[in-house]
Amino acid sequence: MTFIEVNNASKKFRINQRASGIPGMIANLFAPKYEYRQAVKDISFSIEEGEMTGFIGPNGAGKSTTIKMLSGILCPDSGEIKVGGFSPYKDRKKYVGNIGVVFGQKSQLQWDLPVLDSFELLKAIYRIPEKMYRDNLERFTEMLDMSGFLQQPVRQLSLGQRMRADIVAALLHSPKIVFFDEPTIGVDVAGKETIRQFIRELNEKDNITMIFTTHDMQDIEKVCDRLIIIDEGTKVYDGELMGIRERFGTTRQLDVEFVQECSVEPIEKVEILELDQRKKRFIFENRDVKIDELMNELLAKYSIRDINISEPEIERLIRRIYQGEVS
């Protein structure tokens, strides 16, 4: 069932262009000048209930603006957005009880209060029924191994502990959709894996719709099934994560270990790099060179101990898309 529907949503911002100094300030009072910046332009997509979607793009691409429209903070200038039957910006009071938000760089916990006190405060704000609150708190505390620091003030927590507490704070009221903004930023490797495992398990059991904005592609690869890439306010990719390789991953890499040191003759449209005395790397475009023909040519001419074919890394492909090297 479609849970999120975005149709041709656009948003632009009016930016005041004031000259510097006191003269500029005075002139701005009487004859202000503005320019308009298009943050999001006619973006459309739909997300199914329970789907885990990565929503990424370079800085200034329009990610945050889109997420703010989805969460009801901003109203689109044109187009329509529906989330779970609600119009986020029109039905904001009813809608906010159905969403959770996790900001990796901004905590919703009270800095000087114990974690549990912050949870109790959120219980009152969201008017969470007692049984739901107790069941969720017990379950999430066990899943994230939080019992040891629930009574500690938030300021005394490590970053990994605070992130776990922030995630629980966003989930206590059993939201139907959760927005994750850099949920593992600054967390160590073990802490990241704990958070990712919790998110996967929660999605499988509770069917919560989740949207991730992050620069950590490990988060995307290990958690999301689908990826939406936005750049300059428009959507440039929408599909399965592995489909990135099929559409943009035209470069292939062949690492070859020879039985003994040897020189390799140049091969048309293939870049050859020497890794060490007996290992060489062959880099080529899939559309120009057939990999089976290249392997047959190498095996016929040289004594080879091992061959390894490498797919392009997702993170490298995303970076190339950002930089406009592929389209």
pLDDT at 168: 94
Q: How far apart, in whole angstroms, are the C-alpha atoms of residue 57 and residue 322?
A: 7
Fold of 2-245: Rossmann fold (3.40.50)
142 pLDDT band, cuts 50/70/90, is very high
Q: How far apart, in whole angstroms, are the C-alpha atoms of residue 215 and residue 180?
A: 12
Q: Which of 67-81, 104-118, 241-255 has the highest mean pLDDT?
A: 67-81
pLDDT of residue 16 exceeding 80, the answer is no
pLDDT at 221: 83
Query: Rounded to the nearest 5°, which phi and psi values hold at 174?
Result: 55, 60
Domain ranges across the chain? 2-245, 250-310
185 pLDDT band, cuts 50/70/90, is confident
Angle, nearest 10°, between helix axes 130-143 and 189-206? 140
> CA of 145: how far to CAs of 29, 104, 137, 194, 222, in Å?
56, 19, 11, 9, 21
249 pLDDT band, cuts 50/70/90, is low
- State the CB neighbour count (10 A cutoff) for residue 271: 13
Q: Give the chain's end-to-end CA distance (angstroms, integer).
A: 31
Mean pLDDT, residues 282-309 taken together: 88
pLDDT over 90 percentage in the chain: 45
pLDDT at 169: 94
Model confidence pLDDT, tens digit, residues 85-124: 999 999 988 898 899 998 877 788 998 999 999 999 999 9
